[in-house]
């Protein structure tokens, strides 16, 4: 299938238009300002000296790259001379300091110019990968090719060092990224050398030709425990993993490689059926920022890095391009509305690196244990996530449509218009919807007839008996409108009982949105609340937050907080009062100061 790029899709109104406006008007500036304050752009001038503040870090170039890439996507729709000039200057600095042989990495140039391509975990190929993605985006959306020229030269060097002469100290990088960037570069330029390189890095992973482990005690950390075709479970560092799987899916598609596709499908299934939070977050532990094992999904200690959620969207979208299966669109939707959107404050100026699924009472936290942060920050020492969030949101239109010879597949619902080439003609599809407030969607086609397949979301029971692979097929004549109604029911969702953590609990959902309780609405000790599984919830709106809410009855334990309250007491002495509990969308938590938060609540 062919993916319809965001250049052909305008998000025109509603929920996601507001999100894109936030990125364009706030986040791109906020990330720029904090990266500027912390010296990330200045470092490219190669003027930094020992003793100065803001010592450059070994993957700062990738932060700059993702900011440039985000801006390129914004510029496609909204010219901005001021920011474009800033990006031009960054690119001039990168080009001015590119080595004669093509090498680019400001950190290595400052501190380890004698150690180039010797340390597998130094992220040299990771930063080159991100710069390559930025170069493609900047060329495609501004027409300027300086960065692309730099990266072509740099990739020639990588080709010679790694593929032709096997001259580096390692064969595959400790942090994946270059693989998917090379697949993108092949798609963009058509130059088979990039495809050869992408195949090389993917196929050699896990073959242990040289020191292949970033962390030798644990080859799983960098997905190097097995050749990729033999991998069946999602292992190790979650971001590295999903970047690799995305590249594997890219290559499965480009090469028509069924064996590689099978590995991707098996790993994807392992993630979504056994290792993913209900929010679409992945990565259960801060130790190695990693997957752990099946059904290990701790709520308070969830790691669920923002970049990992983004990587899961990328992986799912690549598989969506290969096979007609609504599972991929379902997962993209789940991540977008929950584990991805929680990554940023509602105003778009600050970001989470980790996205906890529960915030316990502050008093219950143990001193020497490292908990996820509970408030978003504008920048981190390791700030990979903020510019990843901006680049995804700015190019969100990428996830709406694919086509094959005769069918247009609609995977996501957002008020939008799209120009789509199919069967030798260009049709225009206009979506109108209030989604995710309700599930009504109208899709009007002009410019010709179209055979349309629309994803029926997994949470929706409408149309189920009429679907094939999760899609409802509709023939639309020129000028006709399809009126769809995906009934959005409010319901509690339980976790598989093997998720020990969630036994006796459930998460409240409505359509694609997962809800949570916050202390600021419901008082402290959220675990003292218990709900009947058939509680009726009223849909409301919180105008301060600008989000929908669900309110319903709960039993709240009356707590004796006096100093002499017994530590243990007869359960029969436990007293409850009936209260109204208010849920907000998970993505909106932590926007009103420190507060307990819970997604999974007690059910009676």
- Find the part of the chain contacting Zn ion (CB under 5 A) among 41-49, 305-313, 332-340, 420-428: 305-313
Q: What's the rounded Cα separation, in Å, for the pair 543 and 260?
A: 48
Q: Residues of 179-210 as b/e, b for ≥16 C-beta within 10 angstroms? A: bbbbbbbbebeeeebbbebbbbbbbbbbebee
Q: What's the rounded Cα separation, in Å, for the pair 30 and 36?
A: 10
Task: Report helix angle 178-189 to 192-204, nearest 10.
Answer: 160
Least Cβ distance, residue 206 to Zn ion (angstroms): 24
Which two structure tokens, joined as six digits, stand for 13?
């109104």
Per-residue mark of binding to ligand FUB, 165-184 (x: CB under 6 A): ----------x---------
Q: Binding partner of residue 382 among Zn ion, ligand FUB, none, CB under 5 to 8 Å per kind?
A: ligand FUB
C-beta closer to ligand FUB: residue 289 or 333: 289
Q: Binding partner of residue 60 among ligand FUB, Zn ion, none, CB under 5 to 8 Å per kind?
A: none
C-beta closer to ligand FUB: residue 234 or 454: 234
Residue among 289, 333, 358, 519 flagged as catalytic: 289
Q: Is 393 in the site for Zn ion (CB under 5 A)?
A: no
Backbone angles phi, psi at 515, to 5 degrees: -105, 165
Nearest to 345 by CA among 25, 28, 592, 543: 592
Contact 156, 164 (CB under 8 A): no
Question: Is residue 530 packed enough to be buried (19+ CB in 10 Å), middle (13-18) or exposed (0-12)?
Answer: middle
516 catalytically annotated: no
- The residue count for binding ligand FUB (CB under 6 A) is 9
Q: Is 239 in the site for ligand FUB (CB under 6 A)?
A: yes
- Find the part of the chain contacting Zn ion (CB under 5 A) among 26-34, 245-253, 269-277, 383-391: 383-391
Q: Is 263 in the site for ligand FUB (CB under 6 A)?
A: no
Q: Binding partner of residue 184 among ligand FUB, Zn ion, none, CB under 5 to 8 Å per kind?
A: none
460 catalytically annotated: no
Residue among 150, 154, 307, 384 flagged as catalytic: 384
Least Cβ distance, residue 384 to Zn ion (angstroms): 3
Least Cβ distance, residue 14 to ligand FUB (angstroms): 32
Which two structure tokens, joined as six digits, stand for 219?
């080859």
Among 61, 76, 257, 289, binds ligand FUB (CB under 6 A): 289
Contact 93, 145 (CB under 8 A): no
Q: Is 303 in the site for ligand FUB (CB under 6 A)?
A: no
Residues in 377-406 at the binding interface with ligand FUB, rule: CB under 6 A: 382, 384
**Which residues, other chains included, contact 403 with Cβ-Cβ below 8 Å and sequence gap of 6+?**
1, 2, 4, 409, 420, 421, 422
- Residue 236, Ramachandran bin (φ over 0: left; ψ between -120 and 50: alpha; else beta): left
Q: Binding partner of residue 175 among ligand FUB, Zn ion, none, CB under 5 to 8 Å per kind?
A: ligand FUB
Q: Binding partner of residue 539 among Zn ion, ligand FUB, none, CB under 5 to 8 Å per kind?
A: none
Residues in 306-325 at the binding interface with Zn ion, rule: CB under 5 A: 307
C-beta closer to Zn ion: residue 205 or 237: 237
Signed CA dihedral, 390, 396, 398, 399: sign only: positive
Among 384, 408, 454, 488, binds Zn ion (CB under 5 A): 384
Q: Is 312 in the site for ligand FUB (CB under 6 A)?
A: no
For the chain, the C-alpha Rg in angstroms (whole number) is 24
Q: What's the rounded Cα separation, in Å, for the pair 453 and 467?
A: 9
Question: How far is Cα of residue 407 from the mean position of the Cα atoms in its chain?
Answer: 27
- Find the part of the chain contacting Zn ion (CB under 5 A) among 315-323, 381-389, 490-498, 524-532: 381-389
In the DSSP assignment, the letter for residue 103 is: -
Which two structure tokens, joined as six digits, stand for 500?
């020990």
Q: Is 385 in the site for Zn ion (CB under 5 A)?
A: yes
Least Cβ distance, residue 48 to ligand FUB (angstroms): 20
Q: Which residue is nearest to Zn ion (CB)?
A: 307
Contact 338, 269 (CB under 8 A): no
Binding site for Zn ion (CB under 5 A): 307, 384-385
Chain residues binding ligand FUB by CB under 6 A are 59, 123, 175, 239, 289, 305, 307, 382, 384
The residues carrying an active-site annotation are 289, 384
């Amino acid at each position: 299938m062919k993916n319809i790029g965001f250049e052909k899709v305008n998000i025109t109104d509603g929920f996601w238009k507001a999100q894109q406006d936030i990125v364009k008007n706030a986040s791109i500036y906020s990330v720029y300002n904090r990266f500027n304050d912390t010296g990330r752009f200045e470092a490219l001038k190669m003027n930094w000296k020992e003793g100065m503040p803001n010592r450059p870090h070994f993957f700062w170039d990738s932060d700059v790259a993702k900011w440039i890439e985000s801006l390129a996507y914004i510029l496609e729709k909204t010219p901005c001379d001021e920011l474009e000039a800033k990006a031009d200057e960054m690119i001039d600095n990168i080009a001015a300091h590119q080595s004669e042989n093509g090498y680019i990495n400001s950190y290595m140039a400052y501190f380890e110019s004698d150690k180039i391509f010797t340390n597998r975990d130094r992220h040299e190929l990771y930063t080159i990968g991100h710069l390559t993605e930025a170069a493609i985006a900047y060329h495609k959306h501004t027409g300027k090719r300086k960065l692309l020229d730099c990266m072509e030269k740099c990739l020639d060097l990588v080709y010679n060092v790694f593929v032709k002469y096997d001259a580096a100290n390692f064969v595959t990088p400790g942090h994946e990224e270059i693989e998917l960037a090379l697949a993108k570069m092949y798609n963009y330029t058509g130059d088979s050398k990039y495809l050869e390189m992408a195949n090389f890095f993917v196929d050699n992973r896990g073959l242990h030709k040289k020191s292949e482990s970033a962390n030798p005690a644990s080859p799983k950390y960098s997905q190097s425990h097995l050749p990729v075709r033999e991998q069946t479970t999602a292992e190790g560092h979650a971001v590295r993993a999903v970047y690799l799987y995305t590249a594997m899916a890219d290559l499965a598609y480009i090469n028509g490689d069924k064996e590689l596709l099978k590995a991707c499908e098996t790993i994807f299934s392992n993630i979504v059926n056994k290792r993913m939070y209900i929010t679409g977050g992945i990565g259960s532990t801060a130790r190695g920022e990693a997957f752990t094992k099946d059904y290990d999904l701790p709520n308070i200690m969830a790691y669920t890095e923002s970049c990992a959620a983004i990587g899961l969207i990328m992986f799912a979208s690549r598989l969506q391009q290969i096979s007609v299966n609504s599972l991929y669109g379902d997962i993209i939707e789940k991540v977008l509305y929950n584990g991805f959107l929680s990554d940023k404050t509602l105003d778009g100026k600050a970001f989470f690196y980790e996205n906890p699924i529960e915030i316990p009472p502050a008093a219950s936290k143990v001193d020497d244990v490292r908990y996820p942060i509970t408030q978003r920050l504008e920048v981190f020492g390791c700030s990979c996530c903020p510019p990843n969030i901006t680049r995804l949101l700015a190019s969100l239109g990428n996830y709406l449509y694919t086509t094959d010879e005769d069918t247009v597949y609609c995977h996501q619902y957002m008020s939008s218009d799209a120009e789509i080439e199919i069967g030798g003609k260009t049709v225009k599809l206009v979506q109108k919807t209030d989604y995710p407030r309700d599930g009504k969607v109208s899709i009007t086609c002009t410019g010709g007839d179209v055979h349309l397949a629309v994803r029926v979301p997994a949470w929706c029971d409408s149309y189920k008996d009429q679907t094939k692979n999760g899609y409802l097929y509709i023939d639309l004549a020129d000028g006709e409108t399809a009126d769809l109604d995906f009934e959005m029911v409010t319901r509690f969702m339980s976790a598989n009982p093997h998720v020990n953590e969630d036994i006796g609990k459930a998460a409240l959902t409505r359509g694609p949105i997962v809800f949570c309780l916050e202390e600021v609405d419901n008082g402290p000790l959220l675990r003292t609340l218990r709900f009947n599984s058939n509680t009726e919830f009223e849909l409301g709106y919180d105008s301060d937050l600008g989000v929908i809410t669900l309110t319903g009855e709960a039993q709240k334990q009356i707590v004796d907080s006096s100093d002499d309250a017994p530590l243990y007491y007869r359960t029969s002495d436990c007293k409850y009062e009936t209260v109204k509990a208010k849920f907000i969308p998970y993505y909106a938590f932590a926007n009103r100061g420190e507060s307990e938060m819970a997604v999974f609540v007690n059910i009676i």
